[in-house]
Amino acid sequence: MLDWRRAAIGSTNPAKVEAVRRALARLAPGCAIEPIVVESGVTEQPHGDDETMRGAEARARAALRQSGADAGFGLEGGVLLDGDRVWLLSWAAAVDANGRIGYGSGLRMLLPPVAAERLRRGEELGVIVDDLFGVHDSKSATGAIGLLTHGFVSRTDAFADLVAMSLAPHLNPRLYP
């Protein structure tokens, strides 16, 4: 268990905040969470693992710096264009006040071909998904993953697992020098 009293997340997106809340409820019970608006330092629609991971780390570091909390979290969703296919991907980063950082990644799923066409034209995935499903601001709720899986997996569910994975170095510091 982690003895953090306060953690900041570099987002006010309800799905991301709830994901951090769920992971810390089990791994750092009693830790208060402070959502903070920060810049990711990457494009609005990150492409590929490298840019998406950099966005998550930048958010975590900015949240920690601005809050003075025990830890900062950054969660970033991105896409990977792979020929005619497009993949949804995500990264989570957790950095503590001592500079120890952990990462979690996963949440890869194939997106509809129409999304690939529109992403190549420069549109953001959240806008595309809202349009395809006739909803508003899906990325603050169930997200593309929830809509495409008919609610079986939500964006919060998937991000919560990534947050827990990003905590491995913090939970096992002797194994991550």
What is the domain partition of the chain in residue ranges? 6-175
pLDDT of the residue at 24: 98
DSSP element (H, E) containing 21? helix 14-27
Measured from the Cβ of residue 48, the count of other Cβ atoms closer than 10 Å reads 15
pLDDT at 141 over 90: no
Q: State pTM to two decimals.
A: 0.94
pLDDT confidence tier of residue 75, bands split at 50, 70 and 90: very high
pLDDT of the residue at 142: 86
CB burial string 114-144: b at 16+ within 10 A, e below: ebbebbeeeeebbebbbebeeeeebbbbbbb
What are the backbone angles phi and psi of residue 28, rounded to the nearest 5°?
-150, 65
pLDDT, one tens digit per residue, over 101-140 is: 999 998 799 999 999 889 999 999 999 999 999 999 998 8
Nearest to 31 by CA among 65, 91, 72: 72
pLDDT, one tens digit per residue, over 13-44 is: 999 999 999 999 999 999 999 999 999 999 99
pLDDT of the residue at 107: 74
Report the percentage of the chain scoring pLDDT > 90: 91
pLDDT of the residue at 176: 95
CATH code of the domain made up of 6-175: 3.90.950.10
DSSP element (H, E) containing 110? strand 101-110
pLDDT of the residue at 139: 87
Helix, strand, coil distribution of the chain in percent, nearest 5: 45, 25, 30
The CA distance from 52 to 131, in Å, is 23
Q: What is the mean pLDDT of residues 49-71?
A: 98
pLDDT of the residue at 131: 95
pLDDT of the residue at 84: 86
pLDDT of the residue at 124: 92
What is the chain's length? 177
Beta carbons within 8 Å of 154's beta carbon, 6+ residues apart: 15, 141, 142, 143, 145, 146
pLDDT of the residue at 110: 95
pLDDT at 100 over 80: yes
- Average pLDDT for the chain: 95
pLDDT at 148 over 90: yes
Nearest to 148 by CA among 91, 92, 109, 90: 109
pLDDT of the residue at 106: 84
Mode of pairing for the β-strands spanning 6-9 and 32-35: parallel
Beta carbons within 8 Å of 107's beta carbon, 6+ residues apart: 77, 88, 89, 90, 145, 158, 159, 162
